[in-house]
Structure 1
Amino acid sequence: MARYSNSQIALHWLTAVLIGLIIALPYGRDFFGDFLGGTGGVFVLHKSLGLAVLALTVLRLLVRARHGAPQILPPDAVWQQRAAKAGHALLYLLLVLMPLSGLLFGKRPLELFWLIPLEPLPLSDTTRAAAKWFHVTAQWLLFAMILGHALMALVHHYGKRDGVLAAMLPAARG
């Protein structure tokens, strides 16, 4: 059965875990704030993880360019292949644009993981407002894409039983 490379699998699941945490942080700011020194700490981690996801996404795109994507759908499933390619392209685009838009709308300095100070970019209030609007609005599209991505993986695994999900799962040792 065709599979993604080990590096693609590791980067995918690391990205998935980080995105889950990135999403949880602002919505659970009261809970997480107790551990991170308040709301400010929650958003330091949110933004830092967002930039980490941006770096991982660039790495993922480089690895994908090198290794390609395995042919895991049947050759005659043309519309499914096109839908999968479009969905993946949109997910990658959002994984690049969400952290960038978050970085653009920030007015305060950011200490990346409390270690590396990053000054805000010298942008107009109009540009910051547009970036914030995009970031806050596009999150809903990202949520929908993540849910759709996971749902389709489950449909392939439990409904079609065609090995699509297994191609992105770590290989079982035996």
Structure 2
Amino acid sequence: MSQTCSFCHIVAIPDAHNLRSTRVAELLRQNGPPLEAETPSLLAAVRDAPASLSAIDEEIKETRKTLEKLLRERERVKLYASDGTTLLHPIRALSNDIFYEIFSWCVSDWQDIMTAPQGPQDSLDPRRPPWTFTRVSRRWRDVALSLPRLWSTIVFDTYRYKEFRVA
């Protein structure tokens, strides 16, 4: 009796020893010849095996093609869903005015710069706003470059750039 997977209900493939009849298994354990009555069925099995194997191999080949096609289709559907999720993200619907407001809150005004406890932040640091806004996307870059408030105050540490000083 064949066993069935309890999860997917696919019939399990028995191991090769269980595929043999008990008589064949018995004959293989000893060194004697089969009975005369058994010889015709054994010859037929040997004779028909190449055609049967060829048919099975062809079916396996077709099944693999179907599997590969389904896997490609699965990847296409996953990609389409991922693209849809990205394209429908709410941040894409924000107006430029919202970005102007958000970006404006990320840069300090002159009063904050001069009274900062850690000292003035270098405006030329590409890891800080407004430079970081320009590297997110083309839209963010366009919005950031069109907002004069982001670029109206320049502060840099002259000691940090002392190798560029002209004597």
Same fold (TM over 0.5): no
Which of the pair has the greater relative contact order for Cα pairs under 8 Å at 6+ separation? 1
- TM (norm. structure 1) is 0.28
Task: Find the structure with the greater CA-based Rg.
Answer: 2
Whichever structure has more helix as a proportion of its residues is: 1
- TM (norm. structure 2) is 0.29
